[in-house]
Structure 1
């Protein structure tokens, strides 16, 4: 699977160019499925889910980029329907657009829905994460970001990359997300980690990691 792990979606020309490189074709010729599941564990989740799905979130460009077609993949619904109703559609999609919210909640439903088991076979699919949608692909998120409590009771996530992510550095509405706070967080992670702002993304292909940024970031 090809990964574009963003802080806040496709925020600038550099991140968009990275997306186009991963897709290998124009956005207008690409089919997307959007996954809003993570946001339901947050306050005002249903309202924020609609913003993400409908492309009405002015700060996080994802579904409104001009895709050939966009479908909605709600992970909490998948265990109640036959896999032949959704697995072929996931395999056919060029990109999965995965919204923000609570990374532990998202990880839980990726496992429960069966999507996690499907991911290793999606070698040409592009995963575009936004905040929690990016953090969920890391080995762990750190206790600072644990909100919803998983049955396992820890902060572990998918581990499809070998580094963790501290998002939203310097965001005006998140005064605690400073680079100093990120450094303290990273000290407890026990592995490689990146702090990124909303103008930064991390591109991963076959284990090769590239930071794409028009903003501020730091590797720990």
Structure 2
């Protein structure tokens, strides 16, 4: 799987160019599935915010980039369905657009639905994460971002990358997301840690990570 892990979505030309390069063809020729599941685990999210993501409205605009087709893949529905029905949907798509919300809630339902087990068998599929949709791929979320507690506790993501992400650095609506607080967050984690703003993304292909940015980012360890 090819990863484009963003803080705020496809927010500038550099991130959009990276997305097109990962897809290997124009956005207009690609089929997308969007995953809103993380929203249901976060107390700030509402049915309206889920609709805004699905319909391509701000802040992320993810489904409104001009895809050939867009569908909704709701992870909460998958455990009650036969894999033979939904796995072809995933294998037949070019890109998974994964919204923010609560990263641990998303990790839980990725595992429960079986999609987490399927991801390693999708080498050509692009995963585009926004906020929690990016953090879910990391080894640890950090207690500052835990809103929903998984049944077994802890703050572990899927661990498909070896670094942790502090998103939305210096975003006006989140005044506590400062570099100082990011340093305190990183001090409690192990492994590489980055603080990134909404103009920054990580491109991960074949285990190689590249930072794509028209904004601010800092490696904290």
TM-score (norm 1): 0.98
With over 3 angstroms needed to count, the CA separation of the structure-2 counterparts of 1:129 and 1:44, relative to structure 1, is closer
Partner of 1:60: 60
Give the 3-state SS of the residue equivalent to 1:88 in structure 2: helix
Cα distance in 2 for partners of 1:85, 1:137 equals 25
Give how far 1:85 is off.
1.6
Cα distance in 2 for partners of 1:47, 1:70 equals 19
Query: What does 1:1-220 align with in structure 2 at a 5 Å threshold?
Result: 1-42=1-42, 43-56=44-57, 58-220=58-220
Q: Which structure 2 segments of 5+ residues have no match? A: none
Cα distance in 2 for partners of 1:4, 1:44 equals 23
Paired residues, what number? 219
Q: CA RMSD in A?
A: 0.7
Give how far 1:84 is off.
1.6
Give the 3-state SS of the residue equivalent to 1:10 in structure 2: coil
Give the 3-state SS of the residue equivalent to 1:86 in structure 2: helix
Cα distance in 2 for partners of 1:216, 1:48 equals 26
Give the 3-state SS of the residue equivalent to 1:63 in structure 2: helix
Give how far 1:46 is off.
1.6
Give the 3-state SS of the residue equivalent to 2:64 in structure 1: coil
Cα distance in 2 for partners of 1:136, 1:45 equals 20
With over 3 angstroms needed to count, the CA separation of the structure-2 counterparts of 1:98 and 1:81, relative to structure 1, is same
Do the aligned residues in 1 keep the contact of 2:169 with 2:178 (CA within 8 Å)?
yes
Give how far 1:45 is off.
2.6
Cα distance in 2 for partners of 1:24, 1:54 equals 25
Q: Which structure 1 segments of 5+ residues have no match? A: none
